Structure 1
Amino acid sequence: MGAGAQRKAARSSTVSAHRADRRRKCCDSLLKRISFSAAVATAGFLFVLGVCFLHLPDPLDSAETRAVTLLIWTHPFGRYRRLPDCLALHQIEKCTLTDDWSAYLEADAVIIHHREVASGTVFLPPEPRPGAQKWIWMNYESPAHTPGLGRFDGVFNLTLSYRTDSDIFLPYGYLVPIRHTTRRNRFAQPLHAPSRSQLLRPRLLAWVISNWSESHARVAFYHQLRQYVKVDVFGRAGHPIPEDNGSGSVVRMLGQYQFYLALENSQHTDYITEKLWNAVRAGSIPVVLGPSRQNYERFMPPEAFIHVDDFPTVRALARYLLRLRRDPVRLRRHLDWRGGYSLHQPAFWTEHYCTACRAVRRNQGRTEVVRDLKQWFHS
């Protein structure tokens, strides 16, 4: 080999080494950033867990507790569901739920789902409201999909939503530390860190989407990502979900995938839906697009998810996912946290009604109204 060829080979070897070193540093930098944020995230994470536990039904509610009647003004989205027995499900005594409008004058509180009154499908209850009766605004859509908020400033007494600063806070899901698992959270499902044989899964990356819109940031993100890595798309915009369309079948399907795109339809404070929690149940590592990393860290350990904002480009994210598949040690860092937690996903809408019933009891005598509902929800 001539001197020129030797120099060329040496340069090529040096460039390859530098590239490998940069890739290694990139991975290490990301993991260090995640680890560094862990201490900062812990306070917010524990705060959210504490608020969740605060609103969980309390098995110590005694027979002497004042009876509460809660009127469900309209079934969300017009879909009738049998009202739950809060005593049997959550040990909340003397909580009567009804959807009979004739009980309006006797009801201690009325739950009003935003979609129906905003669209005009159903009118608000008649004024003046009886005595100290409370009207509860309930909504689980993002601000981008919640029209007509300005009409309800000064109308409601309490808010019930996924926002941590709601009067009645109940998120789409939350983690329960194993050491805190009690009768109060007996519905939580234990999570398990994978064994060595379970660490690598046969398929790489999946996405389930039913509401496809080219105007959504998540669709634009997908178009970029698929240039660098294969994404298996399911739902109305892709392959049919095996068996049925329930969340159980989604979770079973995701059990084959290493990563899952948990991409929200819009990005707003605390708007973190079942997309994330289905991935957690399935043991897939969620790749999230929604509110900021700091916001997600209020609900999960920092290493439990991969945020698209952690990377300068979509290509860099794709490279990281492929690199994790070849590096079980780094892959495990995203999954080992699971051994310390269970996951609770509140049942829509039964748990929401029972949680509201307990909150009404705690807020008896409160009569002030939410004066800036739109400003608060968009904040």
Structure 2
Amino acid sequence: MLDFENACSISSHRAHFSQANAVLFHSRNINSKEISSFPFPRRQEIPYVMVAYESPYNAKLETYKDFFNWTMSYRIDSDVFAPYGGLLRNSELVKVNYAKIWRSKTKGTLWLVSNNNVNNKRKKIVEKLIENGMKVDLYGKVYNREPDNCPRDGAQEGCDERFQSPYKFVIAFENSNCKDYVTEKFWRKAEQYKMVPIVMSRKIYKDLGIPDNMYIAVDDFKTLKEFVEFIENLTSNEKEYMKYHKWREEFRIAEANQEIFGFCDLCQKLMDFQNRTIPKKSYSSLIAWHNEENCDNSFVDRYL
């Protein structure tokens, strides 16, 4: 509901339905059967919004012919752009303490992974990198290994940062390689722990306008051996390594729903909608908009 100060509030109480300026549904918690038995009469004057934070493999979207007016997801072409994080340009260049960052980086590469039920063979790629001589510290449910003194449950405050921040690089492979799909494993590692993310495919990040020198992409290299050699040289070269932190002078990272993203974007659009600056529309098929054709996991095969 929009209050009198042009801010927004979010409610899950059914009693507020008649006052709502938009109705949101989460793709993984709804289906066509539940939509057809929706207990409230359709309000034609407000947008119905489908929220889809997962990749097409896990979003569980259906057709929902002409039921939804807006989409809200990490996709740039969503009606409401709701990424897991994003870059905002600083008003002026920020002074970065490069020497402090370098002194803090006493370890090489980390991979912290808990899900092996994925579509892009990321575990096989990492194991191939290790076969080619890359040193990777493996943690997470997949490897049945937790950091000392920092268990997943019941960890002491700050231990996660103490564990991750010393690493120069982090393997930030997503569970699938899909259009615009970049999650918190990229943004949070770069911002909070000041690590350089290692990703699979440059195109996904380039399409989002993320600076090339913020990350290292495996598919820039003809072979995994070349990639491993590059990382080895970078690990011990302060001057070259710090080039991957240069972006911090010009940009800052905003997490999900901060500043212009997510619910902040939705709030602004609802105000515009009340002023009728956004035309009304509906989606004839959401699954046609968000499906596996927007993903490409095949490129990894050339390395295996």
Q: What is the CA-CA distance between 1:176 and the residue it aligns to? A: 2.0
Change (3 A) 1:347 1:214: closer
> Partner residue of 1:296?
205
1:130 aligns with 2:35: no
Q: Could you tell me which of 105, 116, 129 is aligned with 1:225?
A: 129
Alpha-carbon distance, 1:329 to partner:
2.5
Report the number of matched residues. Answer: 279
Q: CA 1:135–1:225 in structure 2 vs 1: closer, same or farther (change >3 Å)?
A: same
- The residue that corresponds to 1:283 in the other structure is 194
Q: Secondary structure at the match of 1:152?
A: coil
CA distance 1:244–1:134, shift in 2 (3 Å): farther
Measure how far apart 1:299 and its partner are.
3.7
Letter in 1 for 2:56: P
Question: Which structure exhibits the higher relative contact order, with contacts defined as CA atoms closer than 8 Å and separated by 6 or more residues?
Answer: 2
Task: Note if 1:99 corresponds to 2:12.
Answer: yes
TM-score when normalising by structure 2 = 0.80
Q: Distance in 2 between matches of 1:217 and 1:192?
A: 36
The verdict on how the C-alpha distance between 1:249 and 1:167 changes in structure 2, with shifts beyond 3 A counting, is farther
Question: What do the CA deviations read for 1:268-321 (whole angstroms, capped 9, x no partner)?
Answer: 0100001111221211111012xx423312342111110010111222211110
**Residue pair 1:159, 1:167 contacting (<8 A) in 2 also:** yes
Corresponding residue number in structure 2 for 1:169 = 81
Change in CA separation of 1:279 and 1:299 when aligned onto 2, cut-off 3 Å:
farther
Residue in structure 2 matched with residue 376 of structure 1 by the alignment: 289
1:317 corresponds to 2:227: yes
Q: Which residue number in structure 1 is paired with residue 163 of structure 2?
A: 253
Change (3 A) 1:120 1:302: same
TM-score by length of 1: 0.65
8 Å CA contact 1:193–1:339 kept in 2: the answer is no
Return the alpha-carbon distance in structure 1 between the equivalents of residues 199 and 17 of structure 2: 43
The share of aligned pairs that are identical, in percent, is 26
1:344 match: secondary structure: strand
Aligned residue identity for 2:139 = F
**Counterpart contact for 2:82–2:263, Cα < 8 Å:** no
Q: Does 1:178 align with 2:90?
A: yes
**CA distance in 2: counterparts of 1:131 and 1:105, whole angstroms:** 12
Q: CA RMSD in A?
A: 3.0
Segments of structure 1 that go 5 or more residues without pairing to the other structure are 1-66, 70-86, 182-189
Equivalent position SS for 2:290: helix
Q: Which amino acid aligns with 1:240?
A: E
Following superposition, the deviation at residue 93 of structure 1 comes to 2.9
Tell me the SS of whatever aligns to 2:109: strand
Q: Which residue pairs with 2:181 in the alignment?
A: 271
- Pairing partner for 1:334 from 244, 247, 258: 244
Residues 214 and 220, structure 1, Cα contact 8 Å, conserved in 2: no
> How far is the alpha carbon of 1:360 from its aligned partner?
1.7
